[in-house]
Amino acid sequence: MRRGARPMVLEYKGARTAFDMPGWYCDECDESIHTGEDMKVSDRALNRLKATTEGLPLPEDIKRIRTKLGLTQEAAGELIGGGPRAFQKYEAGDLLPSRAIGSALALLDRDPAGLSVLRVRPHVA
């Protein structure tokens, strides 16, 4: 087996995406072995496809909005929702935000002053 990357196509609700899948590939057959790190590549590609198909923000949009709001990842998770590590996972593409989180981000992107409403609400740490 040889380490490399091969083209892969994923489908979700009729939408498709192609990407290079890293892994160990057999030169004589179609077998392959993928590590946990390799699988992150396909998981992130699928999450990106799902986000696009479902109208959810992409990881780079989430980071742009959070940065625009002047929030750390932890603060964003506490104020907007999801918990202290959620935005780290959203921005890495490891976790899809809920529709509610996506809607809150869209509203805050349009009107950052809305963050003041979230800041006065009691939060459970």
Please state, in angstroms and rounded to a whole number, the distance separating the CA atoms of residues 93 and 66.
15
Q: How far is C-alpha 58 from the geometric centre of its chain's CA atoms? A: 6
Ordered by where they begin, the domains of the chain are 2-54 (3.10.20.860), 59-120 (1.10.260.40)
Q: What is the mean pLDDT of residues 20-48?
A: 95
CA distances from residue 26 to 1, 3, 9, 34, 41 in whole angstroms, order as listed: 4, 9, 19, 12, 20
Look up residue 40 and give its two tokens: 């992150």
- Residue 124's contacts (CB-CB under 8 Å, 6 or more residues apart) are none
User: Structure pTM?
Assistant: 0.87
pLDDT of res. 121 = 77
Query: Which one is predicted more confidently, 60 or 30?
Result: 60
What is the tens place of the pLDDT at every residue in 46-93? 999 999 999 999 999 999 999 999 999 999 999 999 999 999 999 999
DSSP reduced 3-state for 36:
helix
Please state, in angstroms and rounded to a whole number, the distance separating the CA atoms of residues 69 and 30.
48
